[in-house]
């Protein structure tokens, strides 16, 4: 091995050790946090609930219209619509107290540094997003095992993968927004009020402003909450299976999400997430703790 390869290896090992420490610290804090386990149970229940109702509805006459085939669309239906907001609130509940308890401050004093403190929080958000996907998948598999669903339908199709990816990305964006708010307000209640307030205000503002010009409508469709709602909608991911429903919606004057725009929306969601992560970091970096 050459010298530079050795140095590279040492750097990688150091980085891995450093990441290992962050993981250990965050796990120690997380696994004993009651609110974390409450959130996990609540989330699993949410996912199960929809699966239960969907599998009974699937027996009805309108089933072919209302539900795309398979386990996943049913399992993901609720997580994908409320999951990102739910994750955001959990992130605020987990992170904001670090400021009120002044444990963020103490971590920096102890030599963690602002950078690694923040990196640990970003990693936690990634892990929580992944966990919410895993939870949804597990619920889906269990549902398939105990329910009347045939096993073949448990295989992931292209639509399922896209649905999962969209859901994960939207969760990441919500988590990043929550982290930024938690680091800015440094207290749970105001951060949650701001988070929920925005989630409510944006669609209202979009409804008021919408329909005036085509350009403005495009811009509005790229606002974060709008993006998350579109990406969480099954109709964006199973256009063929739900074509009947789409037609019905169009007849009554509603506009189903545009399935062809999903790639662009996914890029936008990732951009939002990156900007929000950066904003949170800047807040941490340039303000006294």
Partner 1 sequence: MTSDSVIETFELTKRYGRRGARSVLAVDGVSLSVERGQVFGFLGPNGSGKTTTIGMLAGVVRPTAGSFSLLGATGPRELVAARARVGATLETPNFYPYLSGRDNLRIATAIKGADRARVDECLELVGLADRAGHRFGSYSLGMKQRLSLAATMLNDPELVILDEPANGLDPQGMREIRTIIRDLAGCGTTIFLSSHLLWEVERICSHVAIVRKGRIVASGPVEEIASGDISALVRAEDEMALLEALAGYPDGKGAQRGQEGVIVSLASDDLAALNRYLAGCGIHLSHLARHRQSLEEVFVELTAGDSRTEGGG
Can you give the binding site for partner 1, defined by CB under 8 A?
21, 24-25, 28-29, 32-34, 101-103, 105-115, 286, 288-289
* Between 11 and 24, CB nearer to partner 1: 24
For residues 195 and 105, the answer to whether their CB atoms sit within 8 Å is: no
Q: How far is the CB of 25 from partner 1 (least distance, A)?
A: 5
215 burial type by CB count under 10 A (0-12 exposed, 13-18 middle, 19+ buried): exposed
Q: How far is the CB of 24 from partner 1 (least distance, A)?
A: 5
The rounded distance, in Å, linking the Cα atoms of 126 and 103 is 21
The rounded distance, in Å, linking the Cα atoms of 105 and 255 is 49
* Between 261 and 289, CB nearer to partner 1: 289
For residues 152 and 106, the answer to whether their CB atoms sit within 8 Å is: no
Joined together, the tokens standing for residue 39 give 């959130």
For residues 284 and 182, the answer to whether their CB atoms sit within 8 Å is: no
Helix (H, G, I), strand (E, B) or coil at 212: coil
Q: How far is the CB of 27 from partner 1 (least distance, A)?
A: 10
Joined together, the tokens standing for residue 263 give 């790639």
* Between 14 and 212, CB nearer to partner 1: 14
Q: How far is the CB of 120 from partner 1 (least distance, A)?
A: 10
* Cα pseudo-dihedral 258, 264, 270, 272, rounded to 10: -80
* Between 10 and 28, CB nearer to partner 1: 28
* Between 93 and 177, CB nearer to partner 1: 93
Q: How far is the CB of 108 from partner 1 (least distance, A)?
A: 5
- Name 148's Cβ contacts closer than 8 Å, sequence gap at least 6: 55, 59
Q: How far is the CB of 213 from partner 1 (least distance, A)?
A: 41
Q: How far is the CB of 287 from partner 1 (least distance, A)?
A: 8
Helix (H, G, I), strand (E, B) or coil at 95: helix
Is the dihedral angle over the CA atoms 273, 235, 264, 229 positive or is it negative?
negative
Joined together, the tokens standing for residue 146 give 């105990």
For residues 154 and 70, the answer to whether their CB atoms sit within 8 Å is: yes
* Between 114 and 156, CB nearer to partner 1: 114
* Between 59 and 111, CB nearer to partner 1: 111
């Amino acid at each position: 091995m050459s010298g530079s390869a050795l140095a590279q290896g040492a750097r990688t090992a150091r980085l891995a050790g450093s990441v290992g420490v962050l993981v250990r610290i965050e796990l120690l804090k997380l696994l004993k946090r009651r609110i974390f386990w409450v959130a996990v149970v609540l989330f699993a229940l949410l996912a199960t609930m929809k699966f239960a109702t969907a599998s009974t509805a699937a027996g009805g006459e309108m089933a072919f219209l209302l539900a795309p085939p398979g386990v996943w669309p049913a399992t993901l239906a609720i997580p994908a619509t409320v999951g990102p907001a739910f994750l955001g609130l959990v992130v605020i509940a987990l992170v904001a107290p670090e400021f009120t308890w002044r444990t963020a401050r103490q971590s920096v004093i102890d030599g963690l540094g602002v950078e690694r403190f923040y990196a640990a929080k970003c990693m936690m958000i990634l892990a929580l997003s992944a966990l919410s996907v895993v939870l949804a998948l597990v619920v889906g598999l269990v549902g398939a095992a105990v329910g009347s669903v045939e096993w073949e339908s448990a295989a992931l199709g292209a639509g399922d993968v896209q649905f999962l990816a969209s859901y994960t990305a939207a969760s990441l964006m919500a988590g990043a927004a929550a982290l930024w708010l938690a680091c800015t307000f440094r207290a749970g209640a105001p951060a949650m009020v701001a988070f929920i307030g925005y989630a409510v205000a944006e669609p209202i503002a979009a409804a008021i402003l919408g329909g005036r010009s085509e350009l403005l409508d495009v811009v509005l469709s790229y606002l974060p909450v709008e993006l998350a709602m579109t990406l969480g909608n099954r109709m964006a991911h199973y256009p063929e299976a739900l074509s009947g429903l789409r037609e019905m919606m169009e007849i009554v004057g509603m506009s189903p999400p545009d399935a062809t725009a999903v790639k662009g929306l996914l890029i936008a969601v990732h951009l939002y997430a990156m900007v929000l992560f950066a904003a949170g970091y800047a807040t941490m970096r340039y303000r006294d703790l």
